[in-house]
Structure 1
Amino acid sequence: MTWQFEHVTLGQRVRFGTGTAADDLAAEVARLGARRVLVISAEAVAAEVTAKIDVAALCTDVAPHVPVENAERARALAVESGADLLVSVGGGSTTGLAKAIALTTGLPIVAVPTTYAGSEATNVWGLTEAARKTTGSDDRVLPVTVVYDTTLTASLPRDLAIASGCNALAHCVDSMWAPRTDPINQALALEGMRALSRGLRTPGDREQMLYGAYLAAVAFASAGSGLHHKICHVLGGAYNLPHAETHTAVLPHVLAFNGPAVPEAAARIEEALGGGLIDLYDEVGASHVLRGVPDVREAARLVLPSVPPSNPREVTEDDLISLLTAAQNPSGAS
């Protein structure tokens, strides 16, 4: 095999620990010389995490898929408060709102995740307007530092922790054949799958989950959005579907669709997961049933223009109808 590729690794500091979030955040605020911190969070734990820094303002206007109107209000608050640093404490929607502010202001972000969403490790932003989600990439939205603290995911309900972990798995799987995939991000994705599958099978192993989620996001940031993410982003924006649960439901069906066209990648995925994806889902109690899409034909028409030309196999509107129909009514689903 002769390799020829161009790989970009995004520059970012990571602080990882258990019970260390407040100290690590304070250290980063001091290192960055920030004086006016805008905290973006709708979570009670934010008070504990930010207890050792001075907070100029708090934005709690967090909503899934980052509606444009929420972003505009948050941007206005950043200007009014004279913010020189953004600190997000929460899941993907919280990080996403911080990114929306950074996109137009250039303010740096320190992200403190409380789920396994992975947005904190990517330069990808998303905004929703009139039921249409627009995504893009811009290095201005990449958090300068991520503060991981395993205690911050301890309060996640089991069902949400599983869905969030499977969302991270989706970053890994998509990275195996996304538009900019290469051997480096495939290696990161496969190690991410190993860590996440271990963590999912061992409730309470939050170190493996956070480690895997970070690797998944780094791989995704390099490889780009593949078919899975294009489907889920369109569905999420059009029908206001829950992010992690939608990714969890769609992933097995995209893998079943693409896998036969790339048998080597499919075999590596199965080895990393320690078996089939559906078997893992059944073992940990993840749902592969898609809910909340009222018209699969309409959904397929909306998704089709976003399908990456580099997908391992050609995708037609009929293929998308079949895939989404299977996701709504998988064999043996409960």
Structure 2
Amino acid sequence: MRSAVFDGALADAGADAFVFVGPPGDPLVRYLSGAAVPCRAAVVYAGRVAVVPERPLPDDVAVREDVTVLDPVATPARKLPGLVADSVLAPRTLPHDAALYLEEAGVDVSSTDAHLRARETKTDAELDALRDAQAAAEAGMAAAAALLADAGGDPLADDDGDVTAERVRRTANAAVARAGADPETVVAAEGPIAASDAVPIRVTPGVDGYRGWLARTFVADSDGGWERRATLAGEYAVDAGIDIVDVGETAVDAAAEEVTAELGSYGFPPTAGTGTVHGVGLERRELPAGDDAVEPGAALAVRAELDADQTVWVADLAVATGDGVERVGDFPRSVVPKPDY
């Protein structure tokens, strides 16, 4: 991995390396090494990447070709001083023991956010993983919708018993896993689900560590009232947040404000309706954020959330290109669940 962001930060600081130590599966270790390292590991970036794991890596863990895996040591952080020179950059989250080993060896340690800024934009391979994750999210959402659509009665039930929030979550997760992704689903409901209950569902699966982001709200027996208006407002608000972005110019906060404003145009005040936009990648929430401009290669979660009579979520993943921002996937936004999508 060669990173212009890291190289620039090192040059500006007069440092010779970027260092970090993370626990098993740490997103930053994964980003630097290209692999989900299943143990604590120290990582050094100095134009190339070196990884020191605390134990030998299993045969099925493959780092990138440009990464050197050094002999494992029980305390990886202890190895850092011998891999760097006089001055290094590190995240503020550098573990205390790593900082002590470096400082005791006379290595100057300065904090940086280069590791965050480097992940603001994604490579084509990273975007492919995000798209695959979003496809898995759609599979999970479709399975959850089918469960709600096929159930009857009040509270909802089928041949397997009551349809509960936990059953909805497990059904979505199973479908995500079948689609080849690591499942993660949140259902903002409790216990058995009534036919008129709004059921907000968020699915954020991972493929090679990269996260999809999809949220929908279903009502099995909707009378077309508040929750339908809220869902329609959420749909148009998410689209407004995507459409307003002029890539390279528009700030993330400006897009979020547009989402909130669109909710307001449907009569939902900021106390009831909130628009949120942020980056997505190896973590569900990362840069760009705030006043960061949306640059080509950025992946964004665009979210409209309402909390008044009931809770309604609508959220989609979007990717910025040189031609604009495009929504990833096409899962419907209807409040009424269907048995097939």
Shorter-chain TM-score bucket reads: under 0.3
Instruction: Provide the TM-score with structure 2 as the length reference.
Output: 0.27
Structure with the higher fraction of residues in strand conformation: 2
Structure with the higher fraction of residues in helix conformation: 1
Instruction: Provide the TM-score with structure 1 as the length reference.
Output: 0.28
- Give the greater-gyration-radius structure (CA): 2
